[in-house]
Amino acid sequence: MICDVNVYIDEVSLCEVNDKAGLLRFISDFLVFSSKFKSKISGVNVFFHLWRNDNLESSNLCVDGNSMTFLQAINSQLSTEDKRRFKTALYGKSSKSWCNERVHSEDIIYKLNNDDWITGDTLAECAELTLLNKKKIIAFVALREDEDTSISVIKESDSGHQDTIQVNLADINVDVNSWIDAQYNVSDFFYDPESINPPTDKQSYLKDSSRFNKTSYKNQGRTVYCCNLTRKLHAIDNLHYGLSAHAEVWDRFGNHLGEANLDGHPVGNADPSKNYPAWLN
């Protein structure tokens, strides 16, 4: 996969919902937003991160004057179909709690522009992740004003230094493909099969730096990569493009093993004439 989209559900704003209309608006907006990102987008993983409490029974809402837990509100206020869709989105394989992967410290003050402290809450976690640039973050906030595209979070250190961090807010009208392309420069990673130029290394399986390391070798002017596990050598064939684009593969001794498509799957047989390339000597 090329990139991950991480959507964090803000539990604080959700607990501020005080009537059935607000709850239904939150559910409706969330389902619209999640359905856009959960549609099959090639090369993209989407993860929904829940609030820090795994047990949602700890989250209490006030709905039309009645105090009830989050799950009670969902079960009593939604139609059967909406309950199914909502729970599938929240509890599916792409959902998880962020509390076990926390990066922000509860010893540091995180607050909003109105001085509301949010240390320990989802927006503080989103702010720290945004500051570290570890993940592309979207915060899903209940009761968000339609024109708001981000929220300012202030991080205040013991020395008094302050960082103001802009956290992206979920927009149900978002053009998903445009957003992903702007955040990740996806066009740098996807190869157009109608292109008249050979693919870049980033447009192939060789972009995975956890598996492939660059060597000092060059084949047809292209960098040769070594697989960490197999020690096989890989290089994009610089003479082919479009539907014929592929990589050449050798073992560590220089024996040609065949060709691989841009996903790394074998597509061609070994060619003895390509054994022992000059650059390996």
Q: Please report, for the chain, the start and end positions of each structural domain, with discontinuous segments joined by +.
A: 3-187, 201-280
The CATH class given to the 201-280 domain equals alpha beta
The encoded tokens of residue 125 equal 């976690």
pLDDT tens digits for range 259-272: 999 989 999 899 99
Percent of the chain with pLDDT over 70: 88
Mean pLDDT of all residues in 248-276? 95
How far is 103 from 132, CA to CA, in rounded Å? 9
Using 50, 70 and 90 to split pLDDT, how confident is the model at 253? Answer: very high
Mean pLDDT of all residues in 16-20? 79
How far is 147 from 239, CA to CA, in rounded Å? 50
How far is 47 from 89, CA to CA, in rounded Å? 10
pTM of the model: 0.64
Supply the pLDDT for residue 23: 83
How far is 33 from 43, CA to CA, in rounded Å? 19
Supply the pLDDT for residue 1: 46
pLDDT tens digits for range 163-217: 999 998 888 887 777 777 777 776 677 788 899 999 999 899 998 888 899 999 9
Which of the pair, 53 or 80, is modelled with greater confidence? Answer: 80
The encoded tokens of residue 181 equal 């392309």
Mean pLDDT of the chain, nearest integer: 84
Largest CA distance in the chain: 80
Contact present, 122 and 51 (Cβ < 8 Å):
yes
